[in-house]
Amino acid sequence: MLNLNGNLVSELNFSQENRAFKYGDGIYETIKVQNKKVVFFEDHYFRLMASMRMLRMKIPMKFTLEFLQDEILKTVEVQENSIVYKVRLSVYRKDGGNSLPLTNEIDYLIEAKPINIEDKSIYRIDIFKDFYNYSGFLSTVKTNNKMLNVLASVFAQENDLENSVILNERKGIVGVTDGNIFLIKGKEVKTPALTEGCIKGIIRKKVIEQLKKSEFYTIEETAISPFEIQKADEVFITNSIVGIQSVSHYKKKEFKTAITDRFKKTLNVLTLTT
């Protein structure tokens, strides 16, 4: 079952004027629901509101945090029973118009499916060089235009990789196909700055907040060259569903995971208690 504008439906009948389909005129949040709890939903909610304002979408008066959380849980309740669900909350402008929409009012769609999350011990990555991600603030928003990520994912599959690293037009690291990336060297942790064009990830934010409180590690949001991956002691990626995933291999380099494993434990506690 799907939730379209608050109505539970078994299938969708989009018109040929659907703007998310024709123009990619939409945004979305990927959200984890675990043990009937919407994980870090306040962060997702405020990111969604900021994205809608940036894209000049009209935010309905009823779009409160409580309303959307209830709509997500309502959608989850009618799915196959599971401990963990992957939820996609999509928001897109109503039908009509060309480059200029007929209205800035929106429709919303909530999809939910039960999942099993696998923490992979072997996780190989490499650089995707065919196309680049523009290093502007629009790239920090989760829009429906994911062609670069699709192509990078196909590249990963063709090369027996678990993920691909995406670069910007300055050939700096942006992230991976489905999340953010962190590099650990000694006591220093680095991740691409938002000005590099990376997604403003929720787990990225949580990891940075914890590292800023740490007495043992420093965190820097900065431009990162692909060459720094080779020099790192550990590398991990983050997204809202998996949380933290260790990277085991980059080209011929094999990474340790001890520090990343400690970060995972801290995040797991946050997930359960926040």
pLDDT category, 90, cuts 50, 70, 90? very high
HSE (CB half, 13 Å, CA atoms) of 206?
Answer: 25
Closest to 28 measured CA to CA, from 111, 106, 143, 113? 143
Q: Does residue 119 carry a pLDDT above 90?
A: no
The whole-number pLDDT of residue 272 equals 81
pTM: 0.95
pLDDT category, 198, cuts 50, 70, 90? very high
Task: Specify which residues 33 forms β-bridges with.
Answer: 38, 85
Does residue 81 sit in helix, strand or coil? coil
Dihedral sign for Cα 221, 223, 226, 232, please.
negative
The whole-number pLDDT of residue 229 equals 98
d(CA 243, CA 85): 13
Q: Does residue 3 carry a pLDDT above 90?
A: yes
d(CA 144, CA 65): 22
Dihedral sign for Cα 15, 145, 113, 86, please.
negative
pLDDT category, 221, cuts 50, 70, 90? very high
pLDDT category, 245, cuts 50, 70, 90? very high
Q: Which CATH entry fits the domain spanning 124-273: 3.20.10.10, 3.40.50.970, 3.40.228.10, 1.10.10.10?
A: 3.20.10.10
Strands 218-222 and 234-239: unpaired
Please report, for the chain, the start and end positions of each structural domain, with discontinuous segments joined by +. Answer: 2-114, 124-273
Does residue 193 sit in helix, strand or coil? coil
Residue 250: phi, psi to the nearest 5? -135, 115
The whole-number pLDDT of residue 84 equals 96
Residue-wise pLDDT tens digits, 150-183: 999 999 999 999 999 999 999 999 999 999 999 9
pLDDT category, 61, cuts 50, 70, 90? very high
Specify the CATH number of the domain 2-114.
3.30.470.10
The whole-number pLDDT of residue 274 equals 76
